Amino acid sequence: MWEYYEGKVILITGGSGFLGTTLVYRILQKAPCSHIFLLYRRNLSNLRELWNQWLPEEIVLKMLDPKRVTILDGDITKPECGLLVSNINMLRDKVNIVVHCASSINLVHPLGRISQNIIGATEWLANFALQLTNLERFVYVSTAYTNTHLFHATPEGDVRVKEQIYQLSATPNVQLEWSEVQKKGSSVEYQSNNFPWAYAYAKQLTERLLYDIFSCTGSSHKLLILRPSIIGPAQKYPYPGFSFPLSTPMTIFTAATALWPTLWARISTRYERPETEATNDEVPVDVVVDRLLTHLAFGTTGPVHAVSGGHARQTCKGLSFSLSLSARRLIAPSKSTKYGTAWSGLEEEISWLGG
Ligand SMILES: NC(=O)c1ccc[n+]([C@@H]2O[C@H](COP(=O)([O-])OP(=O)(O)OC[C@H]3O[C@@H](n4cnc5c(N)ncnc54)[C@H](OP(=O)(O)O)[C@@H]3O)[C@@H](O)[C@H]2O)c1
């Protein structure tokens, strides 16, 4: 499939993040593309310093080779993503593929605080991408947890989520809903559906907005939405175990369990024995990247999941939790309290814990 990338020019946002770094590494290692533009809000020396923390020097040198990679000043919370007009014009003529990974991954911030970062920036990028002279593909990195509100749909613990766009009301008007979020920092749809975090709703609304923008212009065949589950350390490349610990939720959870002095946990669940019945789906970052590049090259459209699947899921009492418990100097948490089956309240609880 690598031949698809021959001569292509790719614009990547979030290239300094965990997923984006792995993506840039893999493209440069395998794909014969002609150039990568990285939208980045800090400067070249910051990026070099960041990558040097996690990657060997010779790999960083290749990833910053100006013949193959150009860093462009940009901040997705600013108008036109903070790009200079001269850069916008240059990108318009050159870019074939846009991969939008940049995003807040904060699960605590309220909707009003993350909406421009997640929804507004993607709307601008999508409209910009549709003006490119030679746009072939637009890839949006969403999350497998966009449709967590569907837990109402089944009494079972695991909810089946299809690779489709889910509307939140019978008469959807996504543009009006987005305007409401911009004006009020919330929406009727957000308030009437039970999302665990504003982040999940923001990603859900972004998927619907993208679908609307691309289908209204007859360009749905260019849109790919990737929904990874919990992204974990690499299986193979750049090297086994490669990760950015603060972007690896299970690493944070494991470290917090080992270090946090709490003796109890409150959880929102419908399982009688969540420790052994509930599961976490963690997928290695390099597996997510290869799925992204494969679906992109083969022309898959709409949403696709990048998850580990039933066979690879861990229970809460599985390996990493047991390891972190054994690392505790304090005794193990003595009890867990069931907190009802709705998500509401959980956000406040995480916030209180300093999430
Ligand atoms: N991590 C997970 O478990 C997980 C699971 C499912 C989906 N995802 C999705 O995967 C994508 C990548 O996440 P990740 O794990 O790689 O997170 P990450 O390591 O936190 O990377 C986020 C990236 O977004 C950039 N970014 C954030 N705000 C920005 C701004 N205002 N302007 C420009 N760039 C900005 C960051 O740039 P800086 O380096 O400057 O901060 C960084 O490059 C996101 O869309 C996320 O929602 C992640």
Ligand 1 centroid–CA 200 distance in Å is 14
* Closest-CA residue to 100 (of 120, 114, 84, 85): 120
What is the 152 CA–ligand 1 centroid distance (Å)? Answer: 29
Q: Which atom of ligand 1 is nearest to the CA of 249?
A: 3
Q: Would residue 121 count as lying in a domain?
A: yes
What is the C-alpha end-to-end distance of the chain, expressed in Å?
41
Residue 218, domain member (yes or no): yes
Residue 274 within a domain: no
Residue count (the chain) = 355
Alpha carbon dihedral 143, 202, 246, 335, in 10-degree steps, equals -90
Q: Is residue 232 part of a domain?
A: yes
| Residue 101 Cα to ligand 1 middle (Å) | 6
Beta bridge partners of 265: 336
For position 65, what pLDDT does the model report? 97
- Contact assessment for residue 275 and residue 317, using Cβ atoms and an 8 Å cutoff: yes
Q: Which atom of ligand 1 is nearest to the CA of 82?
A: 32
Residue for token pair 């679908």:
211
How many angstroms is it from 234 CA to the middle of ligand 1?
16
**pLDDT attached to residue 135:** 98
CATH number, position 224: 3.40.50.720
Ligand 1: centre distance to CA 103 (Å) = 4
Q: Determine the residue of 18, 113, 288 to mutate for testing ligand 1's pocket, defined as the one with the most ligand atoms within 8 A of the Cβ atom.
A: 18
Question: What pLDDT is attached to residue 354?
Answer: 36
In terms of Cα–Cα distance, which of 64, 132, 66, 65 is closest to 98? 132
Substitution site in 11, 19, 304 for ligand 1 pocket (most atoms within 8 Å of beta carbon):
19
**Which domain range does residue 153 map to?**
2-244+282-310
Dist. CA 195–CA 182, nearest whole Å: 19
Over residues 285-303, the pLDDT tens digits come to: 999 999 999 999 999 999 9
Mean pLDDT of the chain: 89
Coil/strand/helix, residue 128: helix
In a domain, 15, yes or no: yes
Does any domain span residue 325?
no
Q: How far is CA 188 from CA 174, 206, 288, in A?
A: 12, 16, 33
pLDDT in the model for residue 171: 85
351: helix, strand or coil: helix
Give the count of domains, the chain.
1
Ligand 1 pocket, Cβ-based, cut-off 6 angstroms? 14, 16-20, 41-42, 75-77, 101-105, 117, 141, 143, 228, 230-231, 244, 247, 249
User: Which alpha helices (DSSP H) does the chain contain, by range?
Assistant: 18-30, 44-54, 57-63, 85-94, 111-115, 121-129, 174-184, 188-192, 198-216, 249-259, 274-277, 285-298, 319-327, 346-353
Let me know if residue 73 belongs to a domain: yes
The closest residue, in CA terms, to atom 18 on ligand 1 is 17
- The tens digit of pLDDT for each residue in 93-109 reads 999 999 999 999 998 99
Whether pLDDT at 235 is above 90: yes
In this structure, is residue 252 part of a structural domain? no
The rounded Å distance from CA 246 to ligand 1 centre is 11
For residues 152 and 192, the answer to whether their CB atoms sit within 8 Å is no
pLDDT at 170 (0 to 100): 84
- What pLDDT digit, counting tens, does each position of 297-352 carry? 999 999 999 999 877 888 777 666 677 777 776 666 555 555 555 555 444 444 33
